[in-house]
C-alpha cells in the first residue's frame, strides 16, 4: 500500500536531528525521532481514559496511515517506531527477507524495451539525472567498483543495461536524463526512449528514482516524478549525496528533501511512494534500501 506523505513528516526538529559529519557512526534515525515527536503531541493512552485515549489512538493511527509507507501484510494500526527503517518513511513487513547480494553479473545492453531479457525475473529500474550518482549507487549496492560504468562525465549510460543479482532478480541501469552538454547525437530523450520500457515492462517491480539531495529540487526531476505518478508506475524516491552537509546555496540535504516532497505531494494525494536517504560515501541507507527492495520483490514473487 502506498500512502500519502504529508509535510508534517518533517517535524521542526528534523533538520537538527540529521548529522553527517564523520564516516564513523551512522546518522541517527531521523524518521523514528519524528515518529516520537508526533506521538508526543497527543495524550499518553496509558495515562488517559475514555475519549482522550480514543483520540490519542486515532491520531497515532492516522500518523501511520498518512505518513509511512506501509507494505503489504502490515496493519497500519499496528505499526511501531522500531518497524520504520532509519532515514526513510518505510515500514518493514513480513515480506522482508534475505537482502544480501552474493553475486552480480552483467547480462546485456538493449537499445529498445522489446530487446530486454524476457525471462520474467523481477527487476528494479534505476532512473535519474545524468549526474545524480546512479552508477555510483549501483556499485555501492553491489559493492563492486566496475559493475556500472562510472565516469566524471555524466551521460555515459545510453542503453538499458541489465545486471542479474543472485541469479534471481535484476538491477536495470537506465539512461540518465537532462544532460544538456552531451553531443546532439548522444542526448537521450527519456520520454520517447524509456517510456516504452516503463509502460510495457511487466516484470518491473519498482522504479528507483534518484534525486540529488545536495541541491534544491530540479524541475526535470519533478516532471519525471509526476509523469511516473500519473501513469501509476510504482517508484521509490532514493535521495543521493545525503553526506554533503555544505550543499548548494547553503541548503542542507534534509531541507532540499522537504522542499521536494512539498512540490510533488499534490500529485500523490492518494498514493505517495516510499523514500529513503542514501550516501555512497558514508554507506548511509545501503542495507535499508536492499531490505526495502527485498520485501517488494518477495511480495511481487508471491502475487
CATH of the domain at 294: 3.40.50.300
Neighbouring-strand partners of residue 161: 109, 173
In a domain, residue 62? The reply is no
The mean pLDDT value for 79-102 works out to 94
pLDDT number for residue 126: 94
Question: Average pLDDT of the chain?
Answer: 76
Q: Residue 293: give the domain boundaries.
A: 104-301
Q: Is residue 29 a part of any domain in this protein?
A: no
And the C-alpha cell for 230?
500519473
143 part of a folded domain: yes
Task: Give the tens place of pLDDT for each residue, 141-183.
Answer: 998 766 765 444 444 457 889 999 999 999 999 988 865 444 4
In a domain, 52, yes or no: no
Beta strands in the chain (DSSP E): 104-110, 123-128, 160-165, 169-173, 204-212, 235-240, 275-277
- In the chain, the number of structural domains is 1
Q: Which residues of 34-57 are buried (b: 16+ CB within 10 A; e: fewer)?
A: bbeebeeebeeeeeeeeeebeebe
Does residue 20 fall inside a structural domain? no
pTM for this predicted structure: 0.77
Residue whose C-alpha is closest to residue 141's, from 300, 303, 291: 291
Across 204-208, 217-221, 267-271, least confident range: 267-271
d(CA 14, CA 120): 41
Distance between CA 156 and CA 18 in Å, rounded? 33
Residue 88's nearest CA partner among 158, 150, 27, 149 is 27
Q: Would you say residue 253 lies in a domain?
A: yes
Q: Is residue 227 part of a domain?
A: yes
CB 132 within 8 Å of CB 210: yes
Q: What is the mean pLDDT of residues 37-55?
A: 51
Does residue 35 form part of some domain? no
Report whether 91 contacts 68 (CB < 8 A).
Answer: yes
For residue 53, what is its C-alpha cell? 485515549
Q: Which of 284, 231, 281, 232 is nearest to 254 (CA)?
A: 284
Amino acid at each position: 500500500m502506498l500512502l500519502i506523505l504529508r509535510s508534517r513528516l518533517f517535524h521542526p526538529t528534523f533538520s537538527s536531528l540529521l548529522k553527517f559529519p564523520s564516516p564513523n557512526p551512522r546518522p541517527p534515525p531521523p524518521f523514528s525521532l519524528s515518529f516520537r515527536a508526533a506521538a508526543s503531541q497527543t495524550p499518553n493512552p496509558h495515562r488517559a481514559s475514555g475519549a482522550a485515549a480514543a483520540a490519542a489512538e486515532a491520531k497515532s493511527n492516522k500518523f501511520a496511515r498518512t505518513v509511512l509507507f506501509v507494505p503489504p501484510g502490515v496493519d497500519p494500526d499496528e505499526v511501531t517506531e522500531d518497524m520504520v527503517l532509519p532515514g526513510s518513511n518505510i515500514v518493514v513487513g513480513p515480506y522482508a527477507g534475505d537482502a544480501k547480494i552474493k553475486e552480480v553479473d552483467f547480462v546485456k545492453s538493449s537499445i529498445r524495451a522489446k530487446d530486454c531479457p524476457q525471462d520474467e525475473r523481477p527487476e528494479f529500474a534505476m532512473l535519474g539525472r545524468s549526474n545524480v550518482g546512479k552508477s555510483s549507487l549501483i556499485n555501492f549496492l553491489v559493492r563492486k567498483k566496475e559493475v556500472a560504468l562510472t565516469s566524471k562525465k555524466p551521460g555515459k549510460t545510453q542503453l538499458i543495461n541489465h545486471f542479474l543479482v543472485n541469479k534471481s532478480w535484476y538491477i536495470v541501469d537506465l539512461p540518465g536524463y537532462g544532460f544538456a552538454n552531451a553531443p546532439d547525437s548522444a542526448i537521450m530523450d527519456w520520454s520517447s526512449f524509456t517510456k516504452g520500457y516503463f509502460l510495457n515492462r511487466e516484470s518491473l517491480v519498482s522504479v528507483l528514482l534518484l534525486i540529488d539531495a545536495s541541491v534544491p529540487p530540479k524541475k526535470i526531476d519533478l516532471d519525471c516524478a509526476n509523469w511516473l505518478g500519473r501513469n501509476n508506475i510504482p517508484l521509490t524516491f532514493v535521495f543521493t549525496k545525503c553526506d554533503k552537509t555544505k550543499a548548494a546555496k547553503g541548503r542542507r540535504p534534509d531541507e532540499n528533501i522537504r522542499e521536494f516532497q512539498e512540490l510533488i505531494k499534490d500529485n500523490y494525494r492518494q498514493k505517495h511512494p516510499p523514500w529513503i536517504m542514501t550516501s555512497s560515501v558514508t554507506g548511509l541507507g545501503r542495507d535499508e534500501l536492499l531490505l526495502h527492495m527485498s520485501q517488494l520483490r518477495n511480495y511481487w514473487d508471491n502475487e
